[in-house]
């Protein structure tokens, strides 16, 4: 599907974008990737990098011209602390960027447009959430703003795919919590896994954990997520949002202990700080549809994924 196709990766310097570009090059795609504030990470003559602002219509028209497929990986993101203190920071920039990107892709005659949504769109429940449950209950309060931003963009995607005379195929994936090489390891903006990895590698004493460590997450290694996303783009031919996850829940304290074991930090002192902001206490994700429709199943174990991520962090960030 992607060999010799013109593929745009919006957000070419971000965590998902960087890993996606590397995989698309392996598949023989002609890649155009957008850059904004961050410099390019993957250096390759086969990549056409375009410096632009995705909130500007003229920039989007220029980038999407001639594109066959668009992966919308660009987003204004941050960690739990920023989300709690300034929840609106994710609303306006992302709504504007997503809305204008869909319109520009449609005008450019793009064949398929993929949007990366979020598992925050699901209600605050304690069972594995299915794709049809998005609107079935109240959201987790701390994620209200970002979740509705994602929901709104999903609805826009459906409009373009189903509610207009000449539709554009859109694909919506709802990932578990992604981790792996090229993740954001900055204190102010990182998510829980890279933050814990950095604390362990730097041998913090004590290792501070936000919350009591009992939060339950579904963590998916980046290579597995990229594989699931590419399968969704290839095999979905109707608007049909789909979870890309492992279906293997784990507690944050268990994740930390795995990181400690993998990196050989024995007898580490762990300090749980329940005054700090945390995430959704329990998020379980149903992966039945991904198995049945895409034939997808995450292959990387948590231990192996963390080992690869730690190795990458040591080699690239500490060298």
Quick check: 83 pLDDT over 70? no
Residue 259 lies in a domain: no
First to last CA, the chain: 38
Q: Among residues of the chain, what percentage have pLDDT more than 90?
A: 88
Quick check: 79 pLDDT over 60? no
Q: Which two tokens stand for residue 38?
A: 């961050």
Q: Model pTM?
A: 0.95
* Average pLDDT of the segment spanning 9-13: 97
pLDDT in tens, 263-312: 999 999 999 999 887 778 999 999 999 999 999 999 999 999 999 999 99
* Average pLDDT of the segment spanning 178-185: 96
Residue 305 lies in a domain: no
Quick check: 106 pLDDT over 90? yes
* Average pLDDT of the segment spanning 144-160: 96
Residue 198 lies in a domain: no
The CATH number for 33's domain is 3.40.50.720
Quick check: 78 pLDDT over 90? no
117: left (phi over 0), alpha (psi -120 to 50) or beta: beta
Confidence class for position 80, pLDDT limits 50, 70, 90: low
Q: Domain residues for 81?
A: 6-179+220-247+284-300
Dist CA 8 CA 74 (whole Å): 11
Could you give the number of structural domains in the chain? 1
Dist CA 43 CA 65 (whole Å): 23
The reported pLDDT for the residue numbered 169 is: 98
Residue 202 lies in a domain: no
Query: What are the beta bridge partners of residue 49?
Result: 33
Residue 317 lies in a domain: no
DSSP letters for 88-107: GGGTHHHHHHHHHHHHHHHH
Quick check: 81 pLDDT over 70? no
Residue 203 lies in a domain: no
Residue 194 lies in a domain: no
Residue 169 lies in a domain: yes
Taking each continuous run of H as one helix and of E as one strand, the counts in the chain are 10, 12
Confidence class for position 82, pLDDT limits 50, 70, 90: low
């Amino acid at each position: 599907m992607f060999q010799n196709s013109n593929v745009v990766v919006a957000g070419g310097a971000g965590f998902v974008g960087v890993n996606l570009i590397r995989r698309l090059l392996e598949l023989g795609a002609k890649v155009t990737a957008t850059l904004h504030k961050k410099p390019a990470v993957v250096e390759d003559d086969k990549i056409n990098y375009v410096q632009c602002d995705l909130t500007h219509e003229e920039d989007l028209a220029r980038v999407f011209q001639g594109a066959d497929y668009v992966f919308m990986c660009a987003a204004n993101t941050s960690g739990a602390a920023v989300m709690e203190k300034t929840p609106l920071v994710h609303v306006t920039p992302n709504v504007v960027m997503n809305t204008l990107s869909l319109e520009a892709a449609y005008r450019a005659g793009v064949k398929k447009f993929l949007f990366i949504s979020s598992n925050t769109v699901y209600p605050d429940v304690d069972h594995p959430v299915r794709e049809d449950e998005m609107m079935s209950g109240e959201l987790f309060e701390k994620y209200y703003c970002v979740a509705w931003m994602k929901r709104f963009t999903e609805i826009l995607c459906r409009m373009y795919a189903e509610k207009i005379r000449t539709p554009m195929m859109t694909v919506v994936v709802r990932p578990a919590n992604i981790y792996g090489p090229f993740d954001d390891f900055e204190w102010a903006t990182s998510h829980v896994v890279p933050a814990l990895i950095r604390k362990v590698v730097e041998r913090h004493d004590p290792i501070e954990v936000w919350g009591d460590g009992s939060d339950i997450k579904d963590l998916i290694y980046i290579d597995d997520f990229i594989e699931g996303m590419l399968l969704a783009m290839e095999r979905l031919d109707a608007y049909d949002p789909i979870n890309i996850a492992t279906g293997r829940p784990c507690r944050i304290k268990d994740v930390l202990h795995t990181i400690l074991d993998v990196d050989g930090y024995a007898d580490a002192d762990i300090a749980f700080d329940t005054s700090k902001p945390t995430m959704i206490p329990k998020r379980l994700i149903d992966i039945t549809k991904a198995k049945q429709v895409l034939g997808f199943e995450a292959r990387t174990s948590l231990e192996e994924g963390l080992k690869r991520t730690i190795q990458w962090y040591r080699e690239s960030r500490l060298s």
